A and B are shown apart, each in its own frame.
Chain A
Amino acid sequence: MKKIIGLSFLLVVLFSTTLNAQNSDLTLKASLSKTVLEVGETVKISAEVDNEKGKAIKGAEFQYFSRRSKVVSVDNNGNVKAVGPGEGTVFIIYSPGEDKDPLRESITIKVNFPPVTKIEISNAPSKVYVGSKSILNTTIIDKSGVVRKDLNPKFQSSDASIAEIDAFGNIVAKKAGQVTITAYYEKISSTIKIDVTSAVANQIKLTAPSTEFRTGDVVHFSVSALDAANKKVNDLPIYFSFTGVSDDVSSTASGLIKQDGRFVADVPGIYTITASSGSLSNQMTVKVQPRNVKREVQFIGHGNVNTKHTSDFWVWEGADGKDYAVTGTWGADGTAYFWDVSDPANMIKIDSVQVDARTVNDVKISEDGKICVISREGASNRKNGLVVLDVTNPRDVKTISTFTENLTGGVHNVFLYKNHVFALSAGRKYYIISLANPAQPKVVSEFELDTPGHAIHDVWVVDGIAYSSNWSDGVQLVDVGNGIAGGSLEKPVQFASYTYPSGANHAAFPFKSESAGKFYVVAGDEIFPYGLNMDRPNIAGGFLHFVDFTDLEHPDEIARFEVPNAGSHNYWIENDILYVSFYNGGVRMVDVSGELMGDLYKQGREIGWFIPADPNGYVPNAPFTWGAQPYKGHVFMSDWNSGLWSIKLAPEKPENVSIEVK
């Protein structure tokens, strides 16, 4: 008996955690009988404070809290509950009072994952052909119902001579017969039965609309399996792959092929497309030519702003038929500048307004060219909101009204559509505000997501659809009068969305491609991997995601445009040309004609670029382009360090005449 008691004592000592914290003459002791728990298990913290003689102070009260309440919770009495798997820490605080520092201690607790209870097999074929390959999808679920993506099942075939299965769930049918495939994790398993039948197809037919095309062209290869009687075998899985040799000996013949037969090549060369199923295969070799879309970019004019940073801009035809621009300012004194840009080679600053703000981040003009709305951030009274301006005469801009209702936290971006302002409120939602009486703007509705921690950065409206950029909630399409989902300006209705893993969605622009018959939404990142130095040149990151929204319920991210060592900001698409600012990478003009797939930059779709470096800039020689807008044959751009610029794309050259670009 003594031995048992002694052993028990030893076990308590070995398997409990006791920690001490000292403060002059007081010592806080806290312990748990066990620090590895199962989900749902509870255990009480034993805490005491000893005085200088080592005796526990009676009636000592403690505060308890958890650092990761999703793993362990703790109540006011020190009862710890294992909430979810992982590692958590609970803290114990004793407040001695009388100007003595508080004592604190912490205990780290591990909560085990619940046991796996289920494996589900999806997309299991009931029948496969000899020689063909199929892939099993499996899902492992634990006792708490959580899908365990961190675990991988093992696979086993009841008869490997009929069908083999590898560690990744690929089944290769070897000969006719019936086989049982088991997916298992520890003692939990799931099985399916598969009939392997003799191959009936004896050839694969592969065709393409052409054997010669350009980089970036999406080619649809057609494939069919035929039996001996030349009849189609419809349920034979066929896989596409490609190899290639680049025309440039130092380059790889890269590209992208989808399993529905779509193929796009990045660089000129000879490519061989293979369609295969088991021992059957067919190949087709094609020639890929350079895209040859380069055009000369001509510098036209520069309207210098070098006393402060420049933000967004807008170019419009004024009520008098002349052309004007408005530019905002950033981190400065709340000024917006108005320009006569009728002669893009000689852009003249004609007026300015200064409002109570530090940043006028966004500026927009109404469709009739008479109203300008500018956003405010950093107002001295912290009532930011909007300022509505009369720009009927851009040489004498007048303030019509200021509007701060529900917008006091700051308005980062706005959009004007059919006499309504879409205004972001503190990066959380947008309000739709009627300008029927611009002297008295009136909120008619609002749109806000209900996801945890949702945020918003921008909104753009075309044809009654608002495209908002919502960081980790991606692009949201909202009917504000289009009718597609029964929405209106007074009652916005969300009807489609797309998110992507980086969570960096900063801008969105819709693009109905007439040449491809597709509806894309271009979702842009804003990322600063190296931070931002206000006094020196900077390098941004991030790219444009082309999302095919043709099927609204199944948006498909299909292409990207990324410039090495530069990052995307604002952009515009017109006549199948993308005009995109890439901060330190200047403005890029990109051919987005036809169907899009893969890496548009590698495909040579870039038509030209212009980097607006200015030795007299706010930060000299530090191009940081904010946005670009095509307008009446020119391209205008605003640059953070140097103001407003205009450029022009030279006319297209005949095909396959290359232009040397320095």
Chain B
Amino acid sequence: MLVLKLNKFIGAGIIFLLPLFGFCQKYYAYVAAESEDEVSLIEFDSKTASAKLNIPVGVWPAEMEGPHGVGVSSDGKHWFVSMAHGNPYGTLYKYSTETNQMEGQVKLGLFPATMAISKLNGLMFCVNFDLHGDMSWSSVSVIDPETMTEIKKITTGSMPHGSRISPDGKFHYSVAMMSGLLFEINTLTLEVSRILDLDENTSLSPDDYFSEEQLSSNSLGGNHQHNAQTGVKPTWASPHPTLPILYVAGNGSDEILKIDLKTWKIVDRLKGGKAPYNLDITPDGKYLVASYKAEGSTGVWNIKKGEEVARIKNSTTVTHGVAISSDSKFAFISVEGKGGEPGKVDIIDLQKMERVADVAIGKQAGGIIFWKKAM
């Protein structure tokens, strides 16, 4: 008993003294540079950020393959990157976080983009964004990340994006940007369980939406398929870590939609910056962070109050992705830049509500994912 108490004392002392000895936490995030065919590993020591590694990705040297989405396995041992362009299909690659060497790949659909892994069954869900022009049915690919096998393509709508999974791992959420729809997929049955029309705030029956007549039609869901007529043009869906709510980025309507997952209804519309694109919620559930693509800024929302508490100018234009540290202290924001400008990763201190660091990486910084916090 005495030993235990002594250990506790020593432990508390070490924790108390660590900052005095200059020890500090380091944060790591992976970010893709879509027009550089690179993935960078960002290291941030609470003060300064640097690109610890710039890892060339892709296999087709003379073409820009476009790494778009990145993900990290739940055990942190692997990172994944979706390459948008192929011949014609894109590919998902799996890398070791220890060696940053490629360990596997699997071909998916047209322009695979955002991804997430269900902790319930370990399966990965990656949207096939297909922004190639023609408005047509696209899908969410289900992948076994261990063997890099595509198990199924689940048809959703036009230009699916924003792949995120509920905290319990049971449901996958994505939107179809040009359909104006939110999709809920049951991660066990691998079927669409609910659809929400974000323009009309009405629930659609998956049976009707995916009827043979609709699927065989190019009109993409007939009456429910708005294509370019959707006003919301949703680009992201982010479920809250503890509450039964989900936020959707209304890229076309300049609003963030709050969805009640029990009633499957839009219950609030948050008016923030222009063209919200990606979202993330702090693990403690307090803040929602949104990238405002069209104005090059990042918004931080107090979830409880439903108020934007900060809008922070980014270091360059075209704000893209959001990833938040596991301790809820920092938001890592990817910012694309334009033309030949470098992409950037901005780090926002969520206590000070200010940008505290930025680092230049390859062109068109896009998909970003927090990896780990370490000493």
Contacts and interface: CB of A to CB of B under 8 A. Distances in A.
Given A65-B144, A409-B131, A425-B133, A453 B340 contact: no
B120 A359 contact: no
Interface in B50-78: 56, 59-64, 66, 74
A359 B66 CA distance: 12
B363 interface: yes
Given A65-B144, A377-B64, A334 B89 contact: no
A407 interface: yes
Given A93-B121, A334-B340, A412-B63, A358 B169 contact: no
A104 B131 CA distance: 35
Interface in B131-178: 131-134, 144, 146-147, 149, 151-152, 168-169
A558 to B, nearest CB: 27
Contacts of B59: 531
Contacts of A528: 60-62
A97 B120 contact: yes
Contacts of B87: 427, 453, 455, 457, 471-472
Contacts of B147: 67, 89, 91, 106
B122 interface: yes
Contact of A358 (B89, B121, B146, B339): B339
Contacts of A331: 35-36, 64, 363
A308 B363 CA distance: 13
Given A356-B339, A357-B339, A408 B188 contact: no
A405 B227 CA distance: 13
Contacts of B190: 63
B34 interface: yes
A582 to B, nearest CB: 14
A282 to B, nearest CB: 51
A303 to B, nearest CB: 20
Contacts of A599: none
A573 B133 CA distance: 34
A220 to B, nearest CB: 40
B36 A406 contact: no
A63 B121 contact: yes
Given A331-B35, A405-B133, A528-B61, A427 B340 contact: no
B110 interface: yes
Interface string A27-66: 0000000000000000000000000000000000101011
A65 B151 contact: yes
A125 interface: no
A605 to B, nearest CB: 27
Contacts of B363: 331, 358, 378
B340 A333 contact: yes
Interface in B221-250: none
B119 interface: yes
Interface residues of A, number: 54
Contacts of A457: 87
Contacts of B318: 380
Contacts of B337: 380
A410 B85 contact: yes
A76 B191 CA distance: 12
Contacts of A526: 62
B198 to A, nearest CB: 21
Nearest to A359: B64
Interface residues of B, number: 50
B340 A454 contact: no
Contacts of A106: 147
Interface string A328-343: 0001111000000000
A426 interface: yes
**In this complex, which of B120, B190, B339 has the most chain A Cβ atoms within 10 angstroms of its Cβ?**
B339
A272 interface: no
Q: Please classify the interface of chain A as helix (H, G, I), strand (E, B), loop, or mixed, using the class held by over half of its residues.
A: loop
A406 B121 contact: no
A655 interface: no
A378 B121 contact: no
B64 A406 contact: no
A28 to B, nearest CB: 12
Nearest to A311: B62
Nearest to B189: A76
B287 interface: no
A354 B338 CA distance: 11
B282 interface: no
Interface of A: 61, 63, 65-67, 76, 89, 91, 93, 95, 97, 99, 101-102, 104, 106, 308, 331-334, 354, 356-359, 377-378, 380, 382, 404-410, 412, 425-428, 453-455, 457, 471-472, 526, 528, 531-532, 534, 538
7 nearest interchain CB pairs?
Answer: A532-B61, A333-B340, A409-B132, A426-B132, A406-B133, A455-B87, A333-B339
Given A378-B364, A409-B132, 19 more contacts: A91-B147, A95-B121, A95-B188, A97-B120, A97-B169, A102-B120, A104-B146, A332-B339, A332-B340, A357-B339, A358-B64, A359-B64, A404-B133, A408-B133, A425-B133, A453-B88, A455-B88, A528-B61, A534-B56
Interface of B: 34-36, 56, 59-64, 66, 74, 85-89, 110-111, 119-123, 130-134, 144, 146-147, 149, 151-152, 168-169, 188-190, 317-318, 336-341, 363-364
26 contacts: A63-B190, A65-B151, A67-B144, A95-B121, A97-B120, A102-B121, A104-B122, A331-B36, A333-B340, A354-B339, A358-B35, A378-B363, A380-B318, A405-B133, A408-B132, A409-B110, A409-B132, A410-B85, A412-B63, A426-B133, A428-B88, A453-B87, A453-B89, A471-B87, A528-B60, A534-B56
